Amino acid sequence: YKPKLSTASLGGLTTSSTFTLEQPRCVFNLQEDVVIWLVVAVPKAVPSFNNSVMPGSPKTAFQKFPTSVFAYMTLNTTLLNYPCHKPPREITVLRVGSETSCAKDNTRPTCNGPLPGPGPYQVKFLALNDSNPVAETAWSDPITLRTARQLSSIPTTGSGRSAGMIALTSILSILFAILLASLVAMLVFCGSNAYSGSSSFSKPEAVTVQRYNTHHVYNQPAARL
């Protein structure tokens, strides 16, 4: 059996610091308490890797990879976690490089920390029984991670069109501002005229009141007979 990248329809099967493997199900015909380790190595360490090296020792510490340690061991679990039966729609993968909290913690030499560069890397599964190697898989093909593209390598095709669109947008914005200002000025002018017309009053005409003297009629004394 040769470890391989997952074929599941997942995003980010390889990133700049992680990659995703298929789980080794039905690979080892061993007792269930055997511990399965994942060995991650740079290609130059593959021919000389010693299966008897202790996991978690300074010789296999993740924190020293790949400067002074060229292969580290991580993702240990018992064979019980790799059963042959796969429930429907269950995702059975291993994400290598997913632990960020222990990347610089020297007390966690088996940390599944982010990979330090694009690689390439090779991996294999190693079965240990009381620290004794009892079975192993073949080494995988070299796995290369994604690399971030430099800004200078990004094509600039269409930059002239973008500049033209920016200029056109600026001109339209200025014209819209002028139109809006003209509309506001017109509304203010019309409003002031309407106010002045409604507040002017015509001078009232003088009203001539003609007065009449009332002639009182007095009762004349009765004529004497």
* Three-class DSSP category at 128: strand
Q: Give residue limits of the domains in the chain.
A: 19-147
Q: Which residues of the chain have pLDDT under 50?
A: 159, 199-203, 205, 207, 209, 212, 214-218, 220, 222-225
In the prediction, which pLDDT does 170 show?
81
pLDDT tens figures, 121-155:
999 999 999 889 999 999 999 999 998 665 555 55
In the prediction, which pLDDT does 118 show?
94
Distance (Å, whole) CA 135 – CA 128 = 7
Q: What percent of the chain has pLDDT over 90?
A: 52
Are 28 and 81 in contact, with CB atoms under 8 Å apart?
Answer: no
Are 136 and 126 in contact, with CB atoms under 8 Å apart?
Answer: yes
Strand-pairing partners, residue 36, are: 77, 127
Q: Using DSSP bridges, classify how beta strands 35-41 and 71-78 pair: parallel, antiparallel or unpaired.
A: antiparallel
Instruction: Give the type of residue at 203.
Output: K
Q: Which of 97, 87, 94 is nearest to 137 (CA)?
A: 94
In the prediction, which pLDDT does 86 show?
79
Q: Is the pTM of this model over 0.75?
A: no
Q: Which of 82, 83, 65 is nearest to 73 (CA)?
A: 65
Residue with tokens 């599941």: 8
In the prediction, which pLDDT does 209 show?
46
Strand-pairing partners, residue 22, are: 93
Are 96 and 123 in contact, with CB atoms under 8 Å apart?
Answer: yes
Distance (Å, whole) CA 225 – CA 222 = 9
In order of 31, 69, 136, 221, the CA distances from 64 in angstroms are 33, 5, 24, 149
